[in-house]
Amino acid sequence: MTASRQPTNHPSYFIEGNTVIWSYNDQALWAKDGSPLPIAHPQAFRCIEGRWFTDGEHVIVQAQQGSGTAWYYFYRIEDADIATFEVLNERYARDARQAYFVTGKTIRTRSPQAFRPLTYQGWRWPESGPLEPVACTHAYYAVDADSAYFNGKRVIGADGATVVGLPGNYIADAGHVYYFGQRIEADRASLVVAPAGEGPLRMTDKLGPIEEGKRKTALDQGEVERWRDFFTALPALQDYWWHRLQAPAASSASARTVEYDGHQLAGLDPATFAVRELPVGHGLAGVFCGDAHGIHWLVSYSQGECALTPLSPRPITSLQALGDGYLSDGATVFYAPNHYETPQALRKIDPAAFTVLQGPWARDASRAFYRGTAKKGVDPDALRIAGCYAWDDTQLFCDGKPLKVAAPHATLQVPHPSFLLAGDQLFFGRRPVSARRVHLPTLEFLDADFARDRAHAYIVGYVNLVAIEGADPASFRVLEKGRAADAAREYDAAALKAASAPASD
């Protein structure tokens, strides 16, 4: 600390003259746009609690964008009542008139005195002895007399007077259950959240277990067996899905089992059960199964077990592959990146207007998508796709990531799926190719593996064009896929690629 710096009541903040300094980067506080944050009374700057500060006239908040790689900034709450301002936790605060969320959102609550972070009962495992209940506070949920809030946004339909907190980003009111602020399909009256013995915390209603906000109606028999300790520890629970599955003679469809690839699957209708192996991203195949009542994503594990994730209430016969990881059940479009990650539903998509263009690129009526992610500002009507490149009038992408070039987009050329010619620049993927190594005016790609210019013949290597030592470009020609020759000898593409591959650790 320099001699001119004065400490505050927070060890990371100092006052230097009329400037408040944050020791995180040893700079004056800055606003979201990077400009200096106005501070009315720097000498009065102090921490109220956590990330909430005041200069005696305004509340000042340290906010951030992102989590893993966060970008920090500060803002002022202009109309906060300093006299009654109270910090509730890292994300929520209130005064006599309203409540606040740390991102700068003012919550117009009608009952500010009742506004508070939502608590719930959790459990902890002591070093010895049984599980112990412990009171916990939700990081993102809050409640007042009328409503519940998630990340500062009102939870639509939630009744604040009856809301209770549950573990795992769930809450419930008298009639419904919510996950990450969204109402889910769950029977509130029969909902149970509890650990079993020393096992994990589990949530279920009478119809099926609930994971990540979705009720599971189809389960591997091994997973059914893992619920035994839960229901044995809670004998008061009766006529739940698990009890019904213990009666093989029961006539309901939920009590029947089917078999696939050695897996006993419970909760599916044998009469309409089907398995579909459909292409997903990267040229892989994913396994989907279901019946007339729903579609499930199935992942097998090396231990001989599998997991089923519900995707859709539509019949399994409605599921169709659209191309390169995109699928549709007629009502929803999904993107499956590979054979082990759960396919994700694309939001606000009309399946009738959705088209797979080329590779992982697709479009609907107004947006373009790459591997299931909408690309902002891209005009799908002007989008051109060639090899690993795609561009419209304003944006250029290589493998879905932005690439800046000096040449007008109307002049771009892709002479090879991995190479882009942009004016007098050649790119291999995202990397520019040195014009001192390759003579662009005479460069020609002979096929996917070989190229030549006036001075050299090349193998298209793993990371660039690699000159073939001793080859005569004038007589160099392709014989067949993977083989070429000049006047003196023949060349094998696989061997040349292997010889020019970068060294690995």
Summarised one tens digit per residue, pLDDT across range 87-126 is 999 999 999 999 999 989 999 999 999 999 999 998 887 7
SS percent in the chain: helix, strand, coil, step 5: 10, 40, 50
Q: What is the pLDDT of residues 121-169, one digit of tens each?
A: 988 877 777 778 899 999 999 999 999 999 999 999 999 999 999 998 9
Q: Determine the pLDDT at residue 217.
A: 86
* Residue 249 pLDDT grade (very low, low, confident, very high; cuts 50, 70, 90): very low
What pLDDT, on a 0 to 100 scale, did the predictor assign at position 128? 76
What mean pLDDT is predicted for residues 369-388? Answer: 97
Share of the chain above pLDDT 90, in %: 79
Side by side, which strands form the sheet with 465-467? Answer: 444-445, 450-452, 457-460, 465-467
The answer, yes or no, to whether residue 232 has pLDDT greater than 80, is yes
Q: What is the pLDDT of residue 196?
A: 63
Question: With bands split at pLDDT 50, 70 and 90, how would you rate the model's confidence at 485?
Answer: very high
pLDDT of residue 127: 78
Decide if 280 contacts 326 (C-beta within 8 A). Answer: no
Mean pLDDT of all residues in 416-441? 94
Whether the Cβ atoms of residue 101 and residue 115 lie closer than 8 Å to each other: no
- The pLDDT of residue 291 is 95
Cross-strand partners of 269: none
Give the pLDDT score at 65: 81
Give the strand pairing for 320-323 and 306-312.
unpaired
Q: What are the helix (H) ranges across 205-326? A: 221-226, 228-233, 241-245
Ramachandran area for residue 399 (φ above 0: left; ψ -120 to 50: alpha; else beta): left
What mean pLDDT is predicted for residues 292-318? 91
Which residue is it, tokens 């549709």? 328
CA distance 334 to 328: 6
The reported pLDDT for the residue numbered 253 is: 44
Question: Looking at residue 440, what is its pLDDT?
Answer: 94
The confidence band for 46, taking pLDDT boundaries of 50, 70 and 90, is very high
Residue 250: which pLDDT band, with cuts at 50, 70 and 90? very low
- What's the pLDDT tens digit per position in 320-345? 999 999 999 999 999 999 999 999 99
| Mean predicted lDDT score pLDDT of the chain | 92
Residue 254's pLDDT is: 45
Is the model more confident about 245 or about 444?
444
pLDDT for 263 equals 87
Q: What is the pLDDT of residues 48-98, one digit of tens each?
A: 999 999 999 999 999 988 766 678 999 999 999 999 999 999 999 999 999
